[in-house]
Amino acid sequence: MLKHLNILYILTLLVISFTFNIYYGSIGVFPIDTFAFFDSANLINQGFLPIRDYWTSNGLLVDFIQSLFFKIFGVSWLIYLFHSSIVNFIFALFTFKFLNHVGLNSKFSFFYSFAVCILAYPPVGVPFSDHHSLIFSIISIYTLILTLQKESNFYLFTTIFILFVAFLCKQIPAAFFILLTSTYLFYFSIKKKNYSLIINSLIFSLSLILIFFLFLKISSIPIKDFFIQYINFPLSIGDVRTANFTFLNFTVSLINEFKFFLIIILIMIFQILKEKKFNLLDTNIVFILVTFLALLNQELMKNQNIVFFILPILTGLVHLRLNKKSNQYNFFYLIFIIIFCVFITTKYHLRFNVDRKFMDLQSIDKTNTINAEIISKKLKGLKWITSIGQIEIDNEVLLLKESIAYLKSNKKNSMVISNYQFLNSEIDNRVYSPNRWYTNDGVSYPLSENKYFEYYVYFFKKQLIKNKIIKIYTLYPLNEKSFKFVLQEGCVITKKINNLLEEHNLTNCF
C-alpha cells in the first residue's frame, strides 16, 4: 500500500512540476534572460560551439543539454520549457526521497516537495544557469549525506558527478558547495580513519576532469579559451563583487529580504541546542550551512532572488525534529510549521510565479498578452508581453515581425546582436551572435577596465574574420556601442531599419 502511495505522490510531483513551470513560465518575457539558452543551444546543432565560437562565461552544460533536446524534439518554446520542467521534477523527486530517507513520513515528504516544485523553477520557467547550478548543488548535498551515512562509493561518485554538473552549469554557487563537500569528506575520512573517501574522491574527480578535457579536445575547443572565459574572467568579476561585500550588508539583507530564513534557522539552531548533541552530519547543521552558502551566493550575485525554494526543505527538516517527540507542545509547533510553509509558499508563488517578479514584470499588466506564435512559429505557447514593449517602445511585436522579415531577406554573412536571442533560430540563415548575454556592466563580457579586455577584442575580431562578417545587426536596446569598441574608428556605417532594428555595414575594419 505504501509503495503504491509513494508512486502516486511521485506522479503528482511530476504533473505539478511540469504544469506550474510550463504555465507560469509562458507568461511574459524578459528577453535577455528568457532567451539566454535558446539560440545558443540551436547554434550548437548548426556547428557553432560555446567558448570556441561564441563568448560563454557560464551555462556551458545548459547549452549542450538544451541542444540535445532541440536535436531530438525540434526547436520550439515547449521543448525549451520541457528541459527546465524536467530539472524541476528531478529536484522535487530527490527532495521527496531525501526527506523520506531521513525519517519524515511519505505524506509530509510529499507536502514539502510539492512546495519545492512550485517555488524552484516556475519563477523563471526557462532553463537558467543559476537555477541549474543551485538545484544540482543541493541535490549533491542529499547524496553527500547518504555517502557519509553508508560509506558508499556509489553515492560518493554520484555526489562528485552532480557537483561537476552543477559547476559546468554555473561556477558559483557550485564552487561553494564543492568546498563544503570537500570539507565534510576530509573531516569524516580523518574521523573514521577511512581514507578511501579522500582517495576515491580524487580518483573520481580527476577522471571526470580528464574526460571533460578530452571532450574539449575532440570538439576543438581550446583549453586555454575555456580557462579564460569560464574560469579566469568570472574570477575577475568575483574579485570586484567580493571587494564590495560586507557582512554588515549581508546581515541587513538577512533581516530585510530573508527574514523568513532567519526565523527558520533560529528554530533549527534552537532544536540543536535543545538536544545537546553536536554532530556535523546533523541535517539541521548541514542545511544551515547550505542556506548560508545559498544566501551568500544571492548577495554576491546581485540578481533577482532565486533561493526561496529552500524554505520548504528547511521547514521539512524542522518538522522532522518535532515529529520525533510526541507531546502537546510539539503538536502546536507542527501546526505552526505547516502553516508557515503554506504561507511562504503562497507568498512567493504570488510574487514570483503570478506577478513574474524574476522577469521584472511585477508592475506590468499581464492581461494583454499576445500569442508569440505571431512573431515566430517556434514560440507557440508563449504569451508575449515585455516591460520594453509596455514602457519603452511602441508596437514591439509588429517591429519584431518586420525586423525578422528584413533579416530573412538578408543573405550576406552577418551577426545579430540582440537580447531577443530566438531570432537566429527563426531566421535560420547561419547568422549568429558572438555572445550569450549583452549587459553593459562588465559581467557578460570584459569591458575596457578588465584585464581580459584585449583577449575579448581578439576573440571578437577572430569570429568576424573567420565567418567573413560584413554586416552586424543590432536590436533595441542594443546598438553599435555593443561592438564598435572592438573595431577601428570610421569603419562602420549605420542604417536605421526601424525603431527596433539597425544595420551596421563593416568596411575595411581589419
Q: Within this chain, do residues 316 and 424 fall inside the same structural domain, yes or no? A: no
Q: Within this chain, do residues 154 and 53 fall inside the same structural domain, yes or no? A: yes
Is 298 a domain residue? yes
Contact in structure between 400 and 420 (CB atoms under 8 Å): yes
User: Nearest-5° angle of CA 328, CA 334, CA 340?
Assistant: 145
Is 139 a domain residue? yes
Is 372 a domain residue? no
Q: Within this chain, do residues 327 and 403 fall inside the same structural domain, yes or no? A: no
Domain count, the chain: 2
Contact in structure between 195 and 185 (CB atoms under 8 Å): no
Instruction: Write out the residue range of the structural domain in which residue 449 sits.
Output: 393-506
What's the Cα-to-Cα distance from 351 to each of 98, 112, 168, 176, 296, rounded to whole Å? 28, 19, 30, 28, 22
Residue 196 pLDDT: 87
Q: Within this chain, do residues 445 and 318 fall inside the same structural domain, yes or no? A: no
- For residue 306, what are the contacts with CB-CB under 8 A and spacing of at least 6? 123, 124, 130, 131, 134, 298, 358
Q: Within this chain, do residues 404 and 313 fall inside the same structural domain, yes or no? A: no
User: Nearest-5° angle of CA 14, CA 15, CA 21?
Assistant: 95
What does the block give as the cell for 9?
Answer: 505522490
Helix (H, G, I), strand (E, B) or coil at 496: strand
Final residue before a domain boundary, out of 291, 324, 354? 354
Task: Report the run of H or E that residue 70 belongs to, with start and end.
Answer: helix 60-73
Q: Within this chain, do residues 286 and 160 fall inside the same structural domain, yes or no? A: yes
Q: Within this chain, do residues 488 and 430 fall inside the same structural domain, yes or no? A: yes
Q: Within this chain, do residues 462 and 316 fall inside the same structural domain, yes or no? A: no
Is 75 a domain residue? yes
- For residue 256, what are the contacts with CB-CB under 8 A and spacing of at least 6? none
Question: Strand order in 492-496's β-sheet?
Answer: 414-417, 471-475, 501-506, 492-496
Residue 411 pLDDT: 79
What does the block give as the cell for 141?
Answer: 548535498
Q: Which residues of the chain have pLDDT under 70?
A: 1-2, 238-254, 323-329, 429-430
**How many Cα atoms sit within 13 Å of 505 on the Cβ side?**
7
Is 135 a domain residue? yes
Helix (H, G, I), strand (E, B) or coil at 495: strand
Q: Within this chain, do residues 58 and 143 fall inside the same structural domain, yes or no? A: yes
Q: At what angle do helices 259-275 and 283-301 cross, to 10 degrees?
A: 160
Is 382 a domain residue? no
Final residue before a domain boundary, out of 325, 354, 383? 354
Q: Within this chain, do residues 426 and 302 fall inside the same structural domain, yes or no? A: no
Residue 504 pLDDT: 92
Is 254 a domain residue? yes
Q: Within this chain, do residues 500 and 410 fall inside the same structural domain, yes or no? A: yes
Is 388 a domain residue? no
For the entire predicted model, the pTM comes to 0.93
**Which is it for strands 414-417 and 492-496: parallel, antiparallel or unpaired?**
unpaired
Residue 436 pLDDT: 83
Final residue before a domain boundary, out of 328, 354, 380? 354
Q: At what angle do helices 171-192 and 233-243 cross, to 10 degrees?
A: 80
Contact in structure between 203 and 153 (CB atoms under 8 Å): no
Q: Within this chain, do residues 343 and 219 fall inside the same structural domain, yes or no? A: yes
Question: What is the C-alpha to C-alpha distance for residues 342 and 363, in angstroms, rounded to an integer?
Answer: 25
